[in-house]
Copies of this chain bind each other. A is one copy, B any other.
Amino acid sequence: MNTPFAQRRRALLSRLAKSRLGCLLVTRPANWYYLTGFTGESGALVVSRRGTTLITDGRFTAQARAEISGVRIVQQKGSLVAAVGEFLKGAGNVGFDASHVTVAQRAALRGAGGRRVRWVPSAGHVEELRSRKDPQELAKMRLAAILAGKVLEGALKMLKPGVRELEIAAEIEYQMRHLGASGPAFETIVAFGERSAYPHARATAKRLRKNELVVLDLGAILSHYCSDITRTVVVGRASTKIRQWHKSVQEAQAAAIGAVRAGASCGEVDAAARTVLAGHRLDRYFVHSTGHGLGLEVHEDPRVAKGQKQTLEPGNVVTIEPGVYVPGVGGIRIEDDVAVHASNTEVLTRIPRDLIEI
């Protein structure tokens, strides 16, 4: 049995052996998919040298049997945490993800597991493996990125005065699925006019007016992997100020993409964007980080943020998405997905970045 899932479980076990954890409790859905291929919505995976066990409820056991191999499946009777605690009785050191397990869940695990389990906070084991994509994963991410670009280009053609943000969002998500995506990677952002100054604006019934800014930020899930792309355009004519801002953001993004390479720290990449914007006196309008890792989840390691010391490695895929947001006026963001290779970087999202006036 040498599926990618089995290989990943072996890689995880090598890590665990070094950390002296007998067992790892895997609670995040993206992590259990990565290790087994199970796509159910509820469950927990226990990985140990003695084998891997999925504990889940009656809604998902038939699905689990169809989806996974080489993993024992246990159907919980009562609550998930009670079943997991019971299963792990006497297991010794058990690692768990303190950034995912809630205070109430840990209390229940402790109660059910009894005295002979020591719960050890140990985040990041699976996430670190996931952050280095293998060639098959990169191939899927390329396709997800191309799909997002196509959908974005299609949406631009629908922009005309009078159209509503919600209509564009609906069309975007429909087209994604039409092209084979299982769905959006996150709630599609469509923001017109002043609303573009909200970096994470939810689409509303607002209608587009002439000469307004439009921010489209969308991503698709294709074969389980996410893409994430943003473009900013104007329907009509852009003012001189808007053109200057757009040019500055484009320049900041190019600088950050240029800084992406194996061995660079995430903080350096973030600083590359921030320095360009500071040169245009726009840094105070850049209110978020430069980017984030992308893969099975739309936000994962590594984080491309101010001061981050973590270095980029081959196989990382990150977004690079600087923006400026001026309350009462509007916002501009440009975002692409970038893969880090040993000796070069590869931009996965390949549609033009210029300010388009439609």
Give me the interface of A with B, judged by CB distance under 8 Å. 39-41, 57-63, 65, 96, 98-107, 121, 123, 166-167, 169-171, 173-174, 176-178, 180, 182-183, 187, 197-205, 287-288, 325, 327
The 8 closest A-B pairs by CB, nearest first: A58-B287, A170-B177, A98-B103, A98-B104, A59-B199, A174-B174, A99-B104, A63-B198
Identify the closest chain B residue to A59 (Cβ): B199
Q: Which residues of chain B come closer than 8 Å to A203, judged between CB atoms?
A: 182
Identify the closest chain B residue to A174 (Cβ): B174
Interchain residue pairs with CB less than 8 A apart (27)? A41-B200, A58-B288, A59-B198, A59-B199, A59-B287, A60-B199, A62-B197, A62-B325, A62-B327, A63-B198, A63-B200, A65-B327, A99-B104, A101-B103, A102-B102, A103-B103, A103-B106, A103-B121, A104-B123, A166-B180, A166-B182, A169-B177, A169-B183, A170-B174, A170-B176, A173-B174, A182-B203
A100 x B99 contact (CB < 8 A): no
Starting from the known contacts A59-B199, A166-B182, A174-B174, 10 additional A-B residue pairs (CB-CB under 8 Å) come to A57-B287, A57-B288, A63-B200, A96-B103, A99-B102, A99-B103, A103-B106, A103-B121, A173-B173, A173-B177
Bound: A169/B178 CA distance, A: 10
Bound: A41/B199 CA distance, A: 11
Bound: A171/B103 CA distance, A: 40
A202 x B39 contact (CB < 8 A): yes
Identify the closest chain B residue to A100 (Cβ): B102
Q: Which residues of chain B come closer than 8 Å to A325, judged between CB atoms?
A: 62
Q: Which residues of chain B come closer than 8 Å to A205, judged between CB atoms?
A: 180
A121 x B98 contact (CB < 8 A): no
Chain B min CB distance to A304 (Å): 15
Bound: A174/B183 CA distance, A: 12
